[in-house]
Chains A and B, each alone.
Chain A
Amino acid sequence: KNEVEQSPQNLTAQEEEFITINCSYSVGISALHWLQQHPGGGIVSLFMLSSGKKKHGRLIATINIQEKHSSLHITASHPRDSAVYICAVFTGNQFYFGTGTSLTVIP
């Protein structure tokens, strides 16, 4: 059983669409992270959450600790948002990762 589950696995959207990626986890966590990985392997840290909601530009991340669920939203999506988005949770002594959501935004 995976400690972190993401959905959907793959997502294709038209430019300007509002996108939601979901993450559910089964372990107790001290923080949840959203990562972005572009083709070629480079990983960028987008958000760290322990409660509530954070916004950075067109990206919004929310977390519900009671429901053990987080969402990553992208408003007004753009082709440059095409990447794999990975949810990761930190339990206090190690990380668990989701399998990622591959997003393709079509012009």
Chain B
Amino acid sequence: KAGVTQTPRYLIKTRGQQVTLSCSPISGHRSVSWYQQTPGQGLQFLFEYFSETQRNKGNFPGRFSGRQFSNSRSEMNVSTLELGDSALYLCASRSTQGAWGYTFGSGTRLTVV
């Protein structure tokens, strides 16, 4: 059974650009959530999608957005990149809303220069 796949693994972008990260969940998992991890702030919750609908949202500005497709794959977009957006972005999938059993991907390391 394949795990959670995040692409790309590494990314370097320039300030002001935008970026799209992809997450393919475990087959059959309908929930995908996104997290940002930085040395200064630690792990922070971005948002969660379930069956193509955003269910929960953390405290991030509107530059951070996401979506989920009918096959449960999810994308996260960050517009107008800032240096502080440099982080490890993790996604996790689970089978049903309200349950744990999260499986995390290996993350996308974004560097903004």
Contact = CB atoms under 8 A, between A and B. Distances in A.
Interface bin, chain B: 20 to 34
Interface in B42-76: 42-45, 55-59
A31 interface: yes
Contact of A96 (B45, B100, B103, B109): B45
B90 A41 contact: yes
Contacts of B45: 94-97
B2 to A, nearest CB: 15
Contact-size category for A: 10 to 19
Interface of B: 33, 35, 37, 42-45, 55-59, 88, 90, 92, 100-104, 106-107, 109
Nearest to B40: A99
Interface of A: 31, 33, 40-45, 48, 86, 88, 93-100
